[in-house]
Amino acid sequence: MGREKQQVISRFFAPKPKTSDSPPPATNPLSSSSSSNPPLKISATVSFSPAKRKLLSSHLASTSKRPKLSPHTQNPIPNPSLPIPNPSLHQKFIDKLLEPIPEDPHPQISCHSGSVKFTPLEQQVVDLKGKYPDVLLMIEVGYKYRFFGEDAEIAARVLGIYAHKDRNFMTASVPTFRLSVHVRRLVSAGYKVGVVKQTETAAIKAHGDTKIGPFSRGLSALYTKATLEAAEDLGGGEEGCGGESNYLCCVVEKSVLEGNDDCEGVPEVRIGFVAVEISTGDVVYGELNDGFMRSRLEAVVLSLSPAELLLGDPLSKLTEKSLLAYAGPASNVRVEHASRDCFSNGNALADIMSLYENIQENIPDNRKQTQEVTEQRSDNLLIKEIINMPDLAVQALALTIHHLKQFGFDSIWGLGASFRSFSSNMEMNLSANTLQQLEVLRNNSNGSEFGSLLHMMNHTLTKPGSRLMRHWVTHPLCARSMINARLDAVSEIAESMGSYRAAPWVNEIDKEKADLCIVQPDFYNLLSSVLTTLGRSSDIQRGITRIFHRTAAASEFIAVIQAILYAGKPLQRLNIEEDHDNARVHAQIVKSVLLKKLLLTASSTNIVGIAAKLLSMLNKEAAEQKDLANLILSSKDQFPEVAKAREAVQLAKDKLDSLISIYRKHLRMRNLEFFSVSGITHLIELPSDVKVPLSWVKVNSTKKTIRYHPPEVIAALDELSLANEELMVVCRAAWDRFLMGFGKYYAEFQAAVQALATLDCLHALATLSKNKNYIRPVFVDNEEPVQIHICSGRHPVLETILQDNFVPNDTNLHSNGEYCQIITGPNMGGKSCYIRQVALIALMAQVGSFVPALSVKLHVLDQIYTRMGASDSIQQGRSTFLEELSEACYILNNCTPNSLVIIDELGRGTSTHDGGAIAYAALHHLLEEKKSMVLFVTHYPKIADIKREFPGSVGAYHVSYLTSQKNTEATDLEFDGENVTYLYKLVPGVSEKSFGLKVAQLAQIPSSCIRRAIAMSSELEAVVNSRIGNKSGSNELIKGLPMDEEQPEQSTEICSNPYRELFWNLKLALQDDDPTKCIQFLANVKRIAEDLTSTRQIH
């Protein structure tokens, strides 16, 4: 026999059945055996939504109450194998199952519970949940954080902990020292998490007015994905959110075409947005018009990569669908809705201004005294910038401010915010298609960053530098002066690296250059060491923002300020103004104007002095041990309340220590001392035979000794405990004021951190240029014609993978000459790689980077447009061809003569005739109306005829290849007699073949399919060639044939085409060496001849 199955443990904890006074029911003799062995008790929870419950109710009402009837009779079908159910029990189960759900959205924690009696703690939980209904609360209870009700079930599911019933609610708990880990896991799962802490201790409560009752508790912190990094430092770890950016993006919109429908009833909209990175203070705003594809909104979202979306209702269905598609299950982006009705009538700006007034009013007096005129000026500048913002962006800002108010981040909108427009004239805003199709941020194979342009260029050493590099890559510069300033800085850093390596070969005669080469490595090594040290420290950009928000721990404050100090001090040696005696040598070290400005900002004397002063006021060892009582090294004038509280603690300690002398005299024991055991201090240990007063409290004992607490010691310990608690309260307030005082230095520290991040990016670009042997691009003046000249350009990402096997190509486009290239060639020949290469080189050049080529000369572009690949959007109801044409429409409407447009195989998503016509018309529009720089890849040879309409402006090119005959002895591939070698070199002319069947062979399509495809290709090619053949030669052949004189001339025209096809196939059969093709051509001849014979018999 098999082993008996182990019973579930819940059986042993099932509640006992209640006994009733009613007599037991009559026992059925047939079921006596079953009654003696009752079945196992099974506990189950069934939960239905209101809609499901209604469906279940109707189903049970129609089925369960009506027994199944036989098709031949109206009597129920008996089932002897089932016992007769008890109808009363069954009806009770149905009634219980169909009980209506309470209207309260949180039924497990409700204050409308009727006769339910709550414990004091449960009543606190009910009150907190009523105040924060959409927050998952972690409530501090002793040494644990507990979850209650539905929150406990969510925590059990996400954290993998056990939830159980305790009195009225389900509950689960985690230890206090694991708070950071569990908060991050819950936030990563998309929940808004609130931490409720005890606001009083046992000692303070014992001396307070409310000695009886639970500890007072309040919400101390609120976390979401966008606010987690700016809130109190919870410690990182592998389970953190981990994203490079944590933007909160608020989106609002209004209809532009009110009452007029466009594009199948979908109105065009105007969208406003505000994105704030709370952990860095970066605020991006903008307003744009968008069509039914929402392509511009998609570009904004992809560029910012927000961790959280705040949707200002009402939104159109298309906008909401587009945003929810970005925030899908795979992205793990949190979405929250908020109404903006109160801001729709122009009240948003007034609300923002009142908020700024409230912020100023809520600033404590001691901080108001520290504010200077410069801070007031910066506030005025911020208000002026907000007033100049577009209307919808102001509405989004007001909605964002109200949303962040609950998190306590009001102060960010003052000195903590740096506003910038998303669509700046100084930067290029790449579209969503360009970012995806050029693989700027992620590759298209698996969606990871590896293999993208950002991954290849990002050699930064610090986290702020990495975030800034991402912004640089997605927003190339459009101002020639700014591009050249970056290039000058990168060149100088790169030269210092190169000159250091070339130092042994320096000409000894040229002493000035020798001195320059000796000094420059010090600059590079110094900069590298500073950035490497910063990379090993914590994130200083988010750290100073947490300090500004007063959420930083003491250890983090010291680490951040110390990192800035250690970075600024070494860089001061490169400051020209610091050393006047050796100014000539220092002037040779740094020549770039941008580098000088950044180095002066990062190593400001004021910053270094303030950082040293702040660190001198803190005890580093106490910060590491989280000893808040001894953290601040202050005088009595700075924090008098701290000094007073410390004196009270010392008096309590002295009072305790003085009691021992009294007990020595009383017990006549000269060597009596206080004793401590298991954390219990100030014990008096005496032999068991010593008599003590009855008022002494016995604490513990051993075989030979007994330990006591005299009443005076108990009272003194109580006073000491209260003094320590009051000291902690005072020290927390002092620490908060200390962090508040940092606010007046925040702008300077933020500028220093931004300068260090920029230095990190420039250093990364210099490292890239030296490691890859890149060259500096040259930008022509803005007055010169638009042009792109690339000599031996290489694809930056593929070159890294292929190393020395990459084949370079030249590109020459000029607005006064050839500004369009039509590119044809075989499949897998490298056409798409070539056009991507040109776009990426132009993008890298305008970022300020060196580029992979022998030489590059170009005009500053205002935008790069791409239309490549095939994709659909089934969720949004868009087919592949609709996506293709929508992207083409966006390019045709927005490109300018200063734009670079690359289009790959436009029109392939439909029939050959329609696709070719659309491709031809789109290219014609670009050439005639827009005159942009165009790279046009196609498999339609007819498009190359457009050169006749635009002579000198269009060039036809193809990717070269070599063909050779295969050895006919190979029996497996006798159907394919050609070898194709791709040369990947762009040459003039139109390609004759695409070699699609060769790609089918590489894809390992079955040989039988390929043979059939070759036969069909030959047949179709023959038909097409016969239609475009020489009509005069065909007519001469037809004239020589015997014809019925009675046939009209129309019949001659009808018969001429079949005769032409017959002789054309016969000619091909005689000329082709492939037996398979010859047989196919002869079969075509036979078929056409039979058709002609039957036709003549009919006539």
Each residue of 849-878: pLDDT tens digit? 999 999 999 999 999 999 987 766 666 666
d(CA 699, CA 711): 12
Q: What pLDDT was estimated at residue 866?
A: 94
Reduced to 3 states (helix: H, G, I; strand: E, B; else coil), residue 71 is coil
Q: What is the pTM of this model?
A: 0.74
Q: What pLDDT was estimated at residue 1010?
A: 81
d(CA 503, CA 388): 54
Q: Where are the beta strands (DSSP E) in 438-588?
A: none
Q: What pLDDT was estimated at residue 360?
A: 55
In angstroms, the Cα distances linking 729 to 200, 732, 1056 are 10, 5, 106
884-897 core/surface letters (b: 16 or more CB in 10 A; e: else): bbbbbebbbeebee
CATH number, span 778-1002 = 3.40.50.300
DSSP per position, 776-824: --EE--TTSPPEEEEEEE--HHHHHHHGGGPPPEEEEEETTS--EEEEE
Question: Does the pLDDT value for residue 52 go beyond 50?
Answer: no
Q: How many CB atoms lie within 10 A of CB 618?
A: 20
Q: What pLDDT was estimated at residue 584?
A: 45
Each residue of 114-144: pLDDT tens digit? 567 889 899 999 999 999 999 999 999 989 9
Residues 6+ apart with CB under 8 A from 291: 263, 268, 890
Angle at 820 between CA 816 and CA 822, to 5 degrees: 155
Mean pLDDT of 678-693: 90
Q: What pLDDT was estimated at residue 566?
A: 93
Each residue of 395-441: pLDDT tens digit? 999 999 888 888 878 767 766 568 888 887 789 988 888 999 999 99
Q: What is the mean pLDDT of the chain?
A: 78
In angstroms, the Cα distances linking 110 to 97, 149, 169 are 21, 10, 10
Question: Does the pLDDT value for residue 58 go beyond 60?
Answer: no
User: Which residues of the chain form CATH 3.30.420.110?
Assistant: 248-423
In angstroms, the Cα distances linking 425 to 435, 482, 1078 are 19, 12, 65
From the list 465, 618, 601, 470, the residue with the least C-alpha distance to 537 is: 465
DSSP per position, 683-709: EEEEETT----TTSEEEEE-SSEEEEE
Q: Does domain 120-223 have CATH number 3.40.1170.10?
A: yes
Residue 334 C-beta-side C-alpha neighbours within 13 Å: 21
DSSP state of 341: G
> Of 432-441, 880-889, 1049-1058, which one has max mean pLDDT?
432-441
Mean pLDDT of 605-633: 91
CB 631 within 8 A of CB 623: yes
Angle at 469 between CA 565 and CA 860, to 5 degrees: 125
Mean pLDDT of 706-733: 91
User: Which residues of the chain form CATH 3.40.1170.10?
Assistant: 120-223
**What are the φ and ψ backbone dihedral angles of 453, each rounded to 5 degrees?**
-65, -40
Question: Does the pLDDT value for residue 581 go beyond 50?
Answer: no
User: Which residues of the chain form CATH 3.40.50.300?
Assistant: 778-1002
Residue of higher predicted confidence among 227 and 793: 793
β partners of residue 722? none
Each residue of 8-47: pLDDT tens digit? 444 444 445 444 444 444 434 333 333 344 443 333 333 4
CB 156 within 8 A of CB 182: no
Mean pLDDT check: name the lowest of 107-111, 352-356, 430-434, 921-925: 107-111
Question: Does the pLDDT value for residue 445 go beyond 90?
Answer: no
d(CA 986, CA 807): 10
Under CATH, to which class is 248-423 assigned?
A: alpha beta
Each residue of 60-82: pLDDT tens digit? 444 444 444 333 334 444 444 44
Query: Which band of pLDDT confidence, cut at 50, 70 and 90, is reported for residue 971?
Result: very low
806 by Cβ neighbours in 10 Å (0-12 / 13-18 / 19+) ranks as middle
Query: Which band of pLDDT confidence, cut at 50, 70 and 90, is reported for residue 1007?
Result: confident
d(CA 894, CA 900): 11
**What are the φ and ψ backbone dihedral angles of 938, each rounded to 5 degrees?**
-155, 160
